[in-house]
Amino acid sequence: MYSIGALSKATGVKVPTIRYYEEIGLIDHATRNAGNQRRYDQAGLERLGFIKHARDLGFALEEIKDLMALNGELGQDCHAADIIAKAQLEKVRARISRLQQLEAELERITHLCEGGSGGTCKVLGALGDHSLCIGDHD
C-alpha cells in the first residue's frame, strides 16, 4: 500500500493533482487507514502512471477517461484507442506547425535591428503593429 506522498514520489504527480484525479473519478477513492490517511494499492499506482504518461503525451483528461474506459481487448477497444491516439497526434502536429510559424516570425523580428542603436526599435515596432508580421499567428 502506498501513502499519497509515496504515490506522488513514485509517479511524479503532485499530491494536489492526485487528490483532484480522485475527486473527478480518474482514480478510485483511496482506502483509509486507522489514522484516516489515504492508502493506494498497486493498481492505483499503475492507473496513476497511465494517467501521468497520457498527460505527458498531451491527452486531455476527458480523452484519458475514454481511454481508461476501454478494457484493452483487440477489436473495437483497440480501434477506439487508435482513433483517440491518432486525433492526439494530429493535434500535436498542428501545434508543431504553429510553433514553427511562431519560430520563423520571431527569427525574422529578432533580425530587424540586431540590437542596434539610434532611431526607433524595430523589434518593438513589429510587436506593436501586427500588420508588419509576415504570417498569421493569432
Domain that holds residue 91: 70-138
Answer yes or no: do 113 and 53 share one domain.
no
How many domains, in total, are found in the chain?
Answer: 2
Decide if 65 is inside a domain. no
End position of a domain, from candidates 38, 58, 78? 58
Answer yes or no: do 121 and 97 share one domain.
yes
Please tell me the distance from the alpha carbon of residue 113 to that of residue 121, in angstroms, as a whole number.
7
Answer yes or no: do 49 and 103 share one domain.
no
As a whole number of Å, the end-to-end CA separation of the chain is 49
Q: What is the number of other CB atoms lying within 10 angstroms of the CB of residue 109? A: 18
End position of a domain, from candidates 36, 58, 80? 58
Answer yes or no: do 6 and 54 share one domain.
yes
User: What pLDDT does 118 receive?
Assistant: 65
Please tell me the distance from the alpha carbon of residue 64 to that of residue 52, in angstroms, as a whole number.
10
Q: What residue type is 69 in one-letter code? A: A
Please tell me the distance from the alpha carbon of residue 106 to that of residue 100, in angstroms, as a whole number.
10
Q: What is the pLDDT of residues 40-68, one digit of tens each?
A: 999 999 999 999 999 999 999 999 999 99
Decide if 63 is inside a domain. no
Q: What residue type is 122 in one-letter code? A: K
Answer yes or no: do 54 and 98 share one domain.
no
- Residue 95 CA, chain-centre distance (Å), reads 12
End position of a domain, from candidates 27, 58, 89? 58
**pLDDT > 70 in the chain, percent:** 91
User: What pLDDT does 67 receive?
Assistant: 93
Helix H or strand E segment including 107: helix 76-110
